[in-house]
Structure 1
Amino acid sequence: LRQFSVAGLWLPLVVPLCLQAPVALFGGVLLNYRDARRERKLIKRAFGYFLPDKIVDQLVENVGPINSADQLVYGACLATDVEKYTTLAETMSPRDLGQLMNEYYAELFKPVERLGGVVSEAVGDAMLAIWAASSAQTSVRRQACEAALDIVEALERFNKAVVGRPALPTRFGRHSGQMFLGSIGASHHYEYQAVGDMVNTATRIQGLSKYLGTRILASEATADGLEEFLTRPVGCFLLAGKTEAVCLVELGGRKQDSNPQVTVLYQKFADALEAYRTRQWREAANRFSDILDVFPKDGPSQFYLRRCEAYVLSPPDEPWQPTVRIDQK
């Protein structure tokens, strides 16, 4: 009281108000910030295995309901499938099969993520990867092509790396267009997926390789303008369950790395396919047969040779269209 009466100071009141209270408030804020950061890290760690990074970041920031990130976008899809997986699964224990598929998917995921894609689904032996943009962009189609080729190279090394480990030959299908990207589900179960006709078509294109004996197929529109890649048109197909035909190309690799023999094969095939389209069945059959004398394992030539030989014996009804109808997946 003497200090207050002499100097005008009231320390018992000033110290708590001006020093202790701000320190306590700042300490509380700091502790809350530390706890919040720790909680966000736990959320990212928990959901980062199952959702794309952008969606996890939105979840951490608590931006609206679960479907707040849903959007209609332009994108490219890459669908994959392992050949004869069902037979393989019958010969392995579930544990061994699971370990093999985890190692396999590690090879697939790396090129996708490195080239800006997102793995939308991985079910059994099938993967669906997507590249999305707000508008039609050549870059997303190019990245999908690059990823497919990089995965093929990675799987070639993977299938030879361990003696006795089953090889996993894989087919690829690529398509591009509009798709819905967001949370699909109800109640307490949601999955972040790409949905639309474009996605279904990519899967159907992949399945066509079973008939054509090819590795990487893509719609012509997806490969359009990507001059750095070596491609060959393989015809137009009405795929299972579809009402509109889609024209396809095989992706043979990068032009800078291409084998001159592959270029010769693609040119000869183009000539034979033109004969088929113009209904010169015998001429086309001879051309496809000549190709197989040099490239006996060329699947598209085998496919069209069988069709031409059948048309020579029994010409199709008029009007005839070169589009090939595929009734099975």
Structure 2
Amino acid sequence: MYRPKLAQVVVLLLLLAVLSTAALIHLIWQRAASENIDEVVASLDTQTAGSVRNDLTSTLALVSSTAEIVRSIFFQGAISAGDEVKREFLFLSLLREQSAITWIGFGFPDGRFFGSHATADGRIEMVEIGVAEPGELRQLRRDRYRPIPGDIFFEQRIKAESAYVALGAPWYRLGRDGGDPVWTVTNVLPNGFEPSIVLSTRVDMFGKFAGVVMVAVSLRRLSQALKAVNMPVGSKAFVLDEHGRVLANSQPSDGVMAAHFSDFPKSDAVTAAAAEAVALNGGAAFRAVTQSAALGPVFVSSSRLPFERWRLITATPRSTFASGIDENIRRIPIAVLAIAGLAATTAVVFANLLFARPLARLAVQLRAVEHFSFESVRHHPTFLAELNDFSDALKRMSIGLSAFARYMPLDVVRPLVEGSIEPKPGGELCDITVMFADLPGFTELTERLGPAVEPHLTRFLTTAVAAIHAEGGTVDKFIGDAVMAIWNAPGRQADHAARACRAATAIRDAMHTEPPVSVGHGEVRVRIGINSGTALIGNIGSAERLSYTAIGDTVNLASRLVGVAKEYGVEIVLSDATVQASDAFAHTTSLGLATVRGKAEPVAVYTIDPPDVAFQGGDNGNGTYHGDDDCLLTAQAFRC
């Protein structure tokens, strides 16, 4: 919804007061001209819509007949789709004769593509894309020809690679699955970004699917057709699809084809008026008048086109027809205009200096607080005391929130500030993954170093927090030299177990790039326990003091698994539930059954293979890879 600015409101009020004496004169002239102008605009709309409709209908009929010719030739076996020389001759001949068509092509069931393309500079390209393994680029051959009278002249052959896959293109899939020819609108064709309408039809030979024929017309041709229509100076015409996308327009702004009305520059007042009218009247046929600050009244009409529920939109400023009337209106006494101009200028200057700019800065600051960008919040002194106090209070609030956010996870602070979480005791049962990580030998290190142990602890906790946040986890709390993190709360994460495993791997790998924290712990730099299951998640505590955390047997077992890691001499221990949830069997090693304090039955435990165990080159499950980046490969083992 459009909301005017304060300066605009002040100016508007002053202008209304000053110009009220001229209202009757305006009313007389406008009423006398409105009926004639409406008739002229309606006549022009009818002519424009008819011209575009006829041009589009003839073009679509031409495309349909061309596609049927190619399909029939292949179907009858007159030319085989695999006969390179004959199919090139066929496509080339059809493309030269039909200047409206930009592409004639054929997609094979094995992913190959062959087509003939009319380029914007008048040349013709024969494009062939080969087959390739999934994920690999395909071989591309482009032969460029220059038409000459009665023949074509070969200019160049280009061999390269292409990422275009005909099997995944909408025109191929719809043509293959449909029994009748299918129209589609696509932005990407074998040569790249080329918005077009495409007709595709299935070809069967002897009851077996042989491929899909496609014939395309560039949407730029629609713009050329609109541009060629005799329209009044300053008017514009647009073709919209059923979703409101702009497919063509008579005068592209700055030479750019915009995809939506919102993509046009704000300085394009005619387009802005057309967009406003379409937004107000929806997809039905209509004729409306929209007020434009730059142009005055703009007549906007919408009519149906005979293809895919497309619409033709025309926008014609009233000033195009009423220049004489407007000239007379501008002859209102000079005094009225001078007073109005002086009042407007004064109002703009004062409103901008006193209200608009300070309020705009405050709005920017509030958005920064909303997005927790506290470092960008500044106090901006202003002339008005109320706005100055507001800016100062906003700065103090941002400092307080910034400090508050350091004591709680941002995922919890943000909904508390927004009000979507009520700060009272309570919680819910939720499937989560819990991780505990601590430093081996930290007790001995504390006894030896005393307060000087803080840099070592900070380095470890910083590394752990970074890895946890990188995988979308929430740091629940710090417990001495240990950190507790949870996944799948408060936000939901389908792959929470795999995320926790990747975070653990990242912590382990990062700790091995640093010197050992304590003597005798060079091999085991960290101990991590991970468990998945159901726990109580929410605000735990009393009415006076709350903590957003997780409690339950799932949490207790994750904590106990840190001790299991120490017992087995490994760095990471996973429960069977986590392994099941993360699909990590290929990169874990079973440690058997472990007796865990507090559990009546032994627990099946696993460890994540170190880099030198998990990979020794070869296939990593995502394609063939032979390299030394073991840390990266181990982390990738848990990506789904």
CA positional deviation for 1:68: 6.9
Pick the structure with more helix per residue.
1
* 1:135 to 1:244, Cα distance in 2 relative to 1, 3 A: farther
Query: Percent of aligned positions with the same letter in both sequences?
Result: 26
1:30-60: CA deviation from partner (whole Å, max 9, x where unpaired): 6686466435423420211111112212332
Distance 2:468 2:599 in 1: 28
Contact 2:411–2:474 (CA<8 Å) still a contact in 1? Answer: no
CA positional deviation for 1:101: 0.8
CA positional deviation for 1:86: 1.4
Aligned residues: 244
Contact 1:230–1:254 (CA<8 Å) still a contact in 2? Answer: no
Q: What secondary structure is seen at the aligned counterpart in 1 of 2:515? A: helix
1:163-183: CA deviation from partner (whole Å, max 9, x where unpaired): 99x978211111001122223
Contact 1:230–1:253 (CA<8 Å) still a contact in 2? Answer: no
Query: What residue in structure 2 maps to residue 199 of structure 1?
Result: 555
| TM-score relative to the length of structure 2 | 0.34
Query: What residue in structure 2 maps to residue 87 of structure 1?
Result: 444
Distance 1:213 1:257 in 2: 18
Distance 2:598 2:425 in 1: 32
1:190-240: CA deviation from partner (whole Å, max 9, x where unpaired): 333221110110011111122211111101221125248511111123311
* 1:170 to 1:134, Cα distance in 2 relative to 1, 3 A: closer
- Structure 1 segment 165-244 matched on structure 2, within 5 A: 169-186=525-542, 188-224=544-580, 226-227=583-584, 230-244=587-601
Distance 2:392 2:587 in 1: 54
Q: Aligned pair 1:151/2:529, yes or no? A: no
Letter in 1 for 2:448: T
Distance 2:495 2:557 in 1: 20
Specify which of 424, 437, 443 is matched with residue 67 of structure 1.
424
Q: What secondary structure is seen at the aligned counterpart in 2 of 1:169? A: coil
Higher relative contact order (CA 8 A, sep 6+): 1
Q: What secondary structure is seen at the aligned counterpart in 1 of 2:514? A: helix
Distance 1:106 1:37 in 2: 30
Q: Aligned pair 1:108/2:457, yes or no? A: no
Query: What residue in structure 1 maps to residue 615 of structure 2?
Result: 258
Moved more, 245-254 or 173-182: 245-254
CA positional deviation for 1:132: 1.4
* 1:242 to 1:32, Cα distance in 2 relative to 1, 3 A: farther
Query: What residue in structure 2 maps to residue 326 of structure 1?
Result: none
* 1:71 to 1:28, Cα distance in 2 relative to 1, 3 A: farther
Q: What secondary structure is seen at the aligned counterpart in 1 of 2:557? A: helix
Specify which of 396, 401, 404 is matched with residue 47 of structure 1.
404
Contact 1:236–1:248 (CA<8 Å) still a contact in 2? Answer: yes
Moved more, 131-140 or 195-204: 131-140
Contact 1:83–1:171 (CA<8 Å) still a contact in 2? Answer: yes
Distance 1:134 1:211 in 2: 33
Moved more, 40-49 or 58-67: 58-67
Moved more, 232-241 or 187-196: 187-196
| TM-score relative to the length of structure 1 | 0.62
- Structure 1 segment 307-318 matched on structure 2, within 5 A: none
Distance 1:134 1:64 in 2: 10
Contact 1:43–1:60 (CA<8 Å) still a contact in 2? Answer: no
* 1:237 to 1:49, Cα distance in 2 relative to 1, 3 A: same
CA positional deviation for 1:71: 3.5
Distance 2:395 2:415 in 1: 16
Q: Aligned pair 1:121/2:477, yes or no? A: yes
Letter in 1 for 2:606: V
What 5-or-longer segments of structure 2 have no aligned partner? 1-20, 22-346, 360-383, 618-640
Distance 1:133 1:64 in 2: 13
Letter in 2 for 1:150: A
| Backbone CA RMSD of aligned residues | 3.9
1:277-301: CA deviation from partner (whole Å, max 9, x where unpaired): xxxxxxxxxxxxxxxxxxxxxxxxx
1:103-147: CA deviation from partner (whole Å, max 9, x where unpaired): 221111111001100111212111111111589965101100100
* 1:181 to 1:159, Cα distance in 2 relative to 1, 3 A: farther
Q: What secondary structure is seen at the aligned counterpart in 1 of 2:495? A: helix
Distance 1:229 1:135 in 2: 28
Q: What secondary structure is seen at the aligned counterpart in 1 of 2:484? A: strand
Q: What secondary structure is seen at the aligned counterpart in 1 of 2:600? A: coil
Q: What secondary structure is seen at the aligned counterpart in 2 of 1:67? A: coil
1:73-114: CA deviation from partner (whole Å, max 9, x where unpaired): 2211111122222111110122x1122211221111111001
Distance 2:613 2:591 in 1: 22
Distance 2:421 2:472 in 1: 26
Q: What secondary structure is seen at the aligned counterpart in 2 of 1:159? A: coil
* 1:75 to 1:35, Cα distance in 2 relative to 1, 3 A: farther
Query: What residue in structure 2 maps to residue 132 of structure 1?
Result: 488
Distance 1:106 1:135 in 2: 22
What 5-or-longer segments of structure 1 have no aligned partner? 1-6, 8-18, 261-329
Contact 1:174–1:217 (CA<8 Å) still a contact in 2? Answer: yes
Distance 2:602 2:583 in 1: 22
Contact 2:442–2:518 (CA<8 Å) still a contact in 1? Answer: no
* 1:200 to 1:174, Cα distance in 2 relative to 1, 3 A: same
* 1:240 to 1:77, Cα distance in 2 relative to 1, 3 A: same
Contact 1:73–1:135 (CA<8 Å) still a contact in 2? Answer: no
* 1:88 to 1:134, Cα distance in 2 relative to 1, 3 A: closer
* 1:136 to 1:223, Cα distance in 2 relative to 1, 3 A: farther
